[in-house]
Amino acid sequence: MATFEDFEKVDMRVGKIVSIDDFPEARKPMYKLTIDFGPEIGTKQSCGQYTQNYAKDELMNRLVLGVVNFPPRQIGPTLSEVLTLGVADEHGNAVLIEPECDVPLGTRMN
């Protein structure tokens, strides 16, 4: 079982999607996202299976939560540097977890 101390090690921050690209090389439909986490962390890339629930224009400038201190993960030819947080809908498709109001980029979830 995970402890509270384990949870405190996970660094979840607010970022804003600033670029979205198709990812045709992926085995499952997904986008390549560029997310700005503010001046302390900067811009990072993430890959996510959001194609079923979001058009690219719906994602642009959206605030999201991401884990910024996991090691990068190779997904096909792309390196995903951040785990963008989401949950599965009733069909198993990814839905983003996002703040309900504007908060500064890089704000840590606590």
- Residue 45: give its domain's CATH number: 2.40.50.140
Report how far residue 27's alpha carbon sits from residue 44's, in angstroms, rounded to the nearest whole number: 22
* pLDDT band at residue 110 using 50, 70 and 90 as cut-offs: confident
Q: Total structural domains in the chain? A: 1
Mean pLDDT of 87-107: 94
Range of the domain at 30: 4-96
* pLDDT band at residue 87 using 50, 70 and 90 as cut-offs: very high
DSSP letter string, 8-45: HT--EEEEEEEEEEE-TTSSS--EEEEEE--TTT-EEE
Q: What are the tens digits of pLDDT across the range 41-86?
A: 999 999 999 999 999 999 999 999 999 999 999 999 999 999 999 9
Pairing of strands 31-36, 12-22: antiparallel
Residue 108 is assigned to a structural domain of this protein: no
Residue 107 is assigned to a structural domain of this protein: no
Provide the 3-class DSSP secondary structure of residue 94.
strand
Length of the chain: 110
